[in-house]
Chain A
Amino acid sequence: MSTEQYLPLVALVALPILGGLLVSLLPKGNPTLPKQVALVISLLTLALGVVVGLAFDPSAADRFQLGASWDWIPAWGVSFALGVDGISLVLILMTAILVPVCILGGWADADATAGSPRGYFAWILVLEGLVLGVFAATDVFLFYVLFEAMLIPMYFLIGRYGGAQRQYAAVKFFLYSLAGGLLMLAALIGLWVVSGDQLGAGTFDYAALVGLDIPVETQKWLFLGFFIAFAIKAPLWPLHTWLPDAASEAPPSSSVLLVGVLDKVGTFGMLRLCLPLFPDASKYFTPVIIVLSIVGIVYGALLAIGQTDLKRLIAYTSISHFGFIALGIFAMTSQGQSGATLYMVNHGFSIAALFLIVGFMATRRGSRMVADFGGVQKVAPVLAGAFLVAGLSSLALPGLSSFVSEFLVLAGTFTRYPVAAVVATLGIVLAALYILLMYQRTMTGPVRPGVEGMPDLRGREVLAIAPVLAIILALGFFPQVALDIINPSVDQTMTAVGSTDPAPVVAEGK
Chain B
Amino acid sequence: MAVITTALSIATEGAPNPGEVVAASGTFTLTALLIAIPLASAALLLLLGRRADRWGHLLGTLAAAASAVLGVVLLVAMMGQPEDARTIGQSLWTWIDVGSFTADVALQLDPLSISFVLLITIVGTLIHVYSIGYMAHDPDRRRFFAYLNLFIAAMLLLVLADNYLLLYVGWEGVGLASYLLIGFWYRKPSAATAAKKAFVVNRVGDVGLSLAIMIMFATMGTFTFSGVNEAIGSVDPDTTTWLGLALLLAACGKSAQFPLQSWLLDAMEGPTPVSALIHAATMVTAGVYLIVRSNAIFDLTETAQLAVVVVGTITLLMGAIIGTAKDDIKKGLAGSTMSQIGYMVLAAGLGPAGYVFAIFHLLTHGMFKAGLFLGAGSVMHGMNDDVNMRHYGALRAVMTITWATFGLGFLAIIGIPPFAGFWSKDEIIKVAFAVHPVAGVAALLGAGVTAFYMTRMMAMTFHGKARWEPDVHPHESPAVMTVPMMVLALGSVFGGLVLLFVGNIEEWLAPVVGFEKAEPGIPVPLLIGLTMAVVVVGAVIGWRQYAMREVPRMAPTQVSWATRAARADLYGDAVNEAVFMRPGQYLTRTLVWTDNKVIDGAVNGTAAGIGGLSARSRRWQSGYVRSYALSMLLGAVVIGAVLALVRFA
Contacts and interface: CB of A to CB of B under 8 A. Distances in A.
B630 A192 contact: no
B199 A432 contact: yes
B165 interface: yes
A377 B186 contact: yes
Given A334-B99, A338-B98, A506 B235 contact: yes
A114 B221 contact: no
A178 B196 contact: no
A492 interface: no
A248 B630 CA distance: 22
Interface stretch (A20-28, A179-187, A268-276): A179-187
Nearest to A487: B98
Centre residue among A381, A445, A447 by max chain B CB count within 10 A: A445
Interface in B161-193: 165, 168-169, 171-173, 176, 179, 183, 186-187, 189, 191-193
Nearest to A114: B624
Interface string B190-225: 011101100110011011001101110111111000
B649 interface: yes
Interface string B628-649: 0011001101100110011001
Contact of A407 (B187, B210, B589): B210
Contacts of B186: 377-378, 443-445
Contacts of A58: none
Given A172-B603, A193-B649, A411-B213, A398 B173 contact: yes
Contacts of B235: 505-506
B196 A437 contact: yes
B221 A507 contact: yes
A378 B187 contact: yes
Contacts of A175: 603, 606-607, 610
- Bin the interface of chain B by size: 35 or more
A372 B474 CA distance: 42
B231 A192 contact: no
A155 interface: yes
Contacts of B173: 398-399
A128 to B, nearest CB: 20
A174 B220 contact: no
B192 A477 contact: no
A433 B584 CA distance: 11
A241 B599 contact: yes
B94 interface: yes
Nearest to B236: A505
A266 interface: no
A160 B183 contact: no
Contacts of A478: 93, 95
B611 interface: yes
Contacts of A426: 207
- Bin the interface of chain A by size: 35 or more
B558 interface: no
B588 A429 contact: no
A505 B218 contact: yes
Contact of B196 (A176, A422, A429, A436): A436
Nearest to A374: B189
A408 interface: yes
Interface in A179-211: 181-182, 185-186, 189-190, 192-193
A439 to B, nearest CB: 8
A428 B206 contact: yes
B591 interface: yes
Given A303-B595, A436-B199, A159 B624 contact: yes
A241 B95 CA distance: 37
Contacts of B221: 503-504, 506-507
Interface in A473-507: 477-480, 483, 487, 490, 501-507
A397 B97 CA distance: 19
Contacts of A404: 95-96
A367 interface: no
Interface in A207-249: 238, 241-242
B105 interface: yes
Nearest to B593: A306
B645 A189 contact: yes
A167 interface: yes
A171 B613 CA distance: 12
Given A411-B214, A429-B207, A306 B588 contact: yes
A428 B610 CA distance: 40
A392 B173 CA distance: 11
Given A306-B589, A306-B592, A398 B627 contact: no
B638 A155 contact: no
Contacts of B234: 506, 509-510
Centre residue among B101, B105, B231 by max chain A CB count within 10 A: B101
B397 interface: no
Given A185-B641, A477-B105, A415 B217 contact: yes
B557 interface: no
B219 A174 contact: no
B603 to A, nearest CB: 6
Contacts of A242: 603
A371 interface: no
Nearest to A505: B219
B600 interface: yes
Nearest to A509: B234
B239 interface: yes
B56 to A, nearest CB: 14
A425 B214 CA distance: 11
Contact of B203 (A174, A403, A428, A480): A428
B25 interface: no
A441 to B, nearest CB: 9
Interface in A396-410: 397-399, 403-404, 407-408, 410
A502 B217 CA distance: 11
Contact of B99 (A333, A407, A436): A333
Contacts of A422: 211
A335 B101 contact: yes
A302 B98 CA distance: 31
Contacts of B81: none
B504 interface: no
A410 B99 contact: no
B587 interface: yes
A333 B234 CA distance: 24
Contacts of A348: none
B100 interface: yes
A129 interface: no
A440 B192 contact: yes
A506 B222 CA distance: 11
A398 B220 contact: no
Contacts of B211: 422, 425
B96 A479 contact: yes
B95 A477 contact: yes
A429 B192 contact: no
Contacts of A507: 221
A480 B95 contact: yes
A446 interface: yes
Given A302-B587, A335-B99, A339-B98, 12 more contacts: A160-B624, A168-B611, A185-B642, A238-B599, A306-B592, A382-B49, A398-B173, A428-B210, A479-B96, A480-B95, A504-B219, A504-B220
26 contacts: A160-B624, A167-B614, A170-B627, A172-B607, A175-B610, A178-B637, A185-B645, A193-B649, A302-B588, A302-B591, A303-B595, A334-B101, A335-B101, A338-B99, A375-B187, A397-B176, A398-B168, A398-B173, A407-B210, A411-B217, A440-B193, A444-B189, A477-B95, A479-B95, A479-B96, A510-B234
- 9 cross-chain pairs, A with B, having the tightest CB-CB distances, nearest first: A504-B221, A444-B192, A334-B99, A414-B214, A306-B592, A306-B588, A398-B169, A241-B600, A444-B186
Interface of B: 46, 49, 93-101, 105, 165, 168-169, 171-173, 176, 179, 183, 186-187, 189, 191-193, 195-196, 199-200, 203-204, 206-207, 210-211, 213-215, 217-222, 231, 234-236, 239, 587-589, 591-592, 595, 599-600, 603, 606-607, 610-611, 614, 623-624, 627, 630-631, 634-635, 637-638, 641-642, 645-646, 649
